[in-house]
Amino acid sequence: MLEDLRPQPSDKIIEMIGLYKEDTREGKMDLGVGVYKNDAGVTPIMRSVKEAEKRLVKNQDSKSYVALAGQVDFVKFMREMSLADSVSADRIAGIQTPGGTGAIRQLYELIRMANPNAKIWVSDPSWPNHVAILKYLGMPHREYAYFDRKTCSVNFEAMLHDLDTVSADDVVILHGCCHNPTGANLTPEQWEIVADHLNARGALAMVDIAYQGFGDGLEADAAGLRILASKMPELLVAQSCSKNFGVYRDRVGAAFAISLNEEQAKIAQVNLNTLNRLNYSFPPDHGAAVLMELARDEKLVADWKDELEAMRLEMLEKRKALCAALRRETNSDRFDFIENHRGMFSLTGISSEAVLKLRDEYAIYMVHDSRLNIAGLQLSRVDHLAKAIASVI
């Protein structure tokens, strides 16, 4: 039977990771993989997380299963961090998941259980796995306009034009903040318009929020999501802890379904629990348990917030420095948009040929669509990167 398996298309990012590891040149730069690195080029364990983990290892007395939905306190912690009081808690069903990707997969499955014919709308461009998982599941999907590649900003007029064609019971995937891969975000006013637009058409929104705290701050980054939650009768949310807690490999996330009322929320909860049981039974516990250890200590929470804010400000500093260097090296304002983008990424708009030249001639690795990971850039290497980009465009 296994001889009938066929090769699968390669994942460009995973392929790039392999090429980078095999590259023996000194001074190589990884600006593709979506992880934060400090100026020493290291993805550190946050102080607060490390201390919480020490306490957990010392005090934990069992490795028995958690509940199907995961730790209740963890799910509550995640809900309060992202949704705050924007919607009544009794309307929200939630589960712990293996990272944000696990949350996305479970919510796709929930959509399919509710309506196998639901059409999923994904922004152009979007995180590649949004569409890849939909294709694997055989779920119908379409793209809506989002990014203007000439101005490197949100093309809101085109976005609304496409969303005009969304039908009742369609699902529109939105990035909560720090849009991946573009770095271009909606304004609060635009979030209000999108909510009204979808409500008028009876469509459902699904928000992927993986970078809360990396853009304009922990609270500001949740503003769009909270606007939707306060205005829409139903909403799906996929939440990740990989970036803002730095627990990438521990796979910590949560999925939420907001329903019209408490009775429907209870039914949604049963279905989410069932999906956990069918896909992996009980969610992995260690990473979530560490974060709960952190959440129970006000000093650790304060320290985590300080660390997160320092990371955010460092990324803004990198954006400003790179923007100035590119202006100097190209003698133009072509890349000024980088300073205005938010989060880990910016879609630079350079050609795929230029991306390959950066890799081949300078050992600088970026995703083929020109996505640049600002969080992976060291301030000491900004001038080198700017000179390299100027030489290949």
Active site members: 127, 208, 210, 243
Compute the distance between CA of residue 24 and CA of residue 54 in angstroms, rounded to an integer: 36
The CA-CA-CA angle for residues 140, 141, 146, to 5°, reads 175
Compute the distance between CA of residue 121 and CA of residue 119 in angstroms, rounded to an integer: 7
User: Within a 13 Å sphere around the CA of 15, how many CA atoms are in the beta-carbon half?
Assistant: 7
* Strand pairing report for 171-175 and 120-124: parallel
Q: What is the DSSP string of 378-391?
A: -GGGHHHHHHHHHH
Of 140, 206, 211, the residue nearest 174 (C-alpha): 206
Sole residue written with tokens 């001639």: 361
Q: How many CB atoms lie within 10 A of CB 359?
A: 21
Q: Are 344 and 9 in contact (CB under 8 A)?
A: no
Of 158, 127, 172, the residue nearest 369 (C-alpha): 127
